[in-house]
Homo-oligomer: A and B are copies of this chain.
Amino acid sequence: MTTLTKTFAALSDDTRLTLVEKLLKRGELPAGTLAAEAEISAPAISRHLKVLREAGVIVQRVEGTHRYYSVQPDALRAIHGWTMDHRAFWSGSLDRLDTLLALEPDDTPGEGTE
């Protein structure tokens, strides 16, 4: 498995995507808070956090008995980067035929540079 497929795999579960979005919106949170807000057991959440950690999507900070989790920005950058690598295929028009034309070595109209 490549780094990217591991990242996608980590985010391919609703429970885990929800955990990540909580961390994205609210910042660093302890495992206990994440477990309390979830509908499944604390051990199950702990395992999901482990999957996310091993995929490099989140990082853990230990403080006493608490484990604080937060999102690793590089993981989102990697996904963003992958979509940008293939931007010519999906950006520009909403029409698929136009996307094919966008592959021509021609500059993309309408969109300002970012």
Which residues of A approach B to under 8 Å, CB–CB? 1-2, 4-5, 8-9, 11-14, 17, 21, 24, 27-28, 59, 61, 63, 70-74, 76-77, 79-80, 82-84, 86-87, 89-91, 96, 99-100, 103-104, 110, 112-114
Contacts and interface: CB of A to CB of B under 8 A. Distances in A.
Contacts of A11: 5, 8
A18 B23 CA distance: 30
A24 B89 contact: yes
A83 B83 contact: yes
Contact of A73 (B8, B21, B90, B104): B90
Nearest to A100: B27
A106 to B, nearest CB: 12
